[in-house]
């Protein structure tokens, strides 16, 4: 039985996993000590479950295609004085099987049983099915 939970989040400003990889690589190149983190307004209430092996699953154009392991949650105080959550991520971006996701705001919890599997190491990418086909397959329980 899994004792962790994952998060799922839209990868805003990126159309493909390569965009996320390039953006994160550029951040690290400019500062070798750069900590990869995604800052969010809300602090996850299920922090212990996230830190027990959870990942942040990234959604690109309506499809989950990658994940990064969550290493820790840091407190980040913005210039406005408001406390935010910095989700610190492992630099390794793991490709996953394509899994359609409806639009949403912020992040959502994602149970391990509902998380797409990682792609085999020899298969660097999986092209997403057309949205209509994905929706039809999901409706009949195939996807």
pLDDT in tens, 39-60: 999 999 999 999 999 999 999 9
pLDDT in tens, 73-116: 999 998 899 999 999 999 999 999 999 998 888 899 999 999 99
Give ∠ CA 43-55-71 in degrees, rounded to 5.
Answer: 70
**Local structure of 45: helix, strand or coil:** coil
pLDDT of res. 31: 83
Listed in sequence order, the residues at least 6 apart from 73 whose beta carbon sits closer than 8 Å to its beta carbon are 43, 44, 47, 50, 51, 85, 86, 87, 88
Q: Name the pTM for this structure.
A: 0.82
Asked if residue 1 has pLDDT above 60, the reply is no
Listed in sequence order, the residues at least 6 apart from 110 whose beta carbon sits closer than 8 Å to its beta carbon are 5, 6, 7, 8, 57
Listed in sequence order, the residues at least 6 apart from 47 whose beta carbon sits closer than 8 Å to its beta carbon are 73
């Amino acid at each position: 039985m899994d004792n962790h939970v994952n998060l799922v989040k839209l990868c805003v400003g990126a159309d493909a996993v390569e965009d996320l990889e390039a953006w994160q690589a550029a951040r690290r190149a400019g500062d070798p000590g750069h900590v990869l983190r995604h800052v969010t307004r809300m602090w996850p209430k299920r922090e212990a479950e996230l830190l027990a092996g959870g990942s942040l699953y990234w959604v690109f154009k309506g499809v989950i295609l990658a994940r990064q392991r969550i290493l820790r949650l840091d407190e980040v105080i913005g210039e406005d004085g408001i406390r935010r959550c910095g989700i610190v991520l492992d630099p390794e971006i793991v490709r996953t099987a394509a899994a359609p996701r409806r639009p949403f705001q912020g992040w959502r919890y994602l149970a391990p049983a509902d998380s797409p599997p990682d792609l085999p190491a020899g298969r660097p990418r999986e092209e997403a099915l057309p949205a209509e086909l994905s929706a039809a397959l999901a409706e009949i329980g195939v996807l």
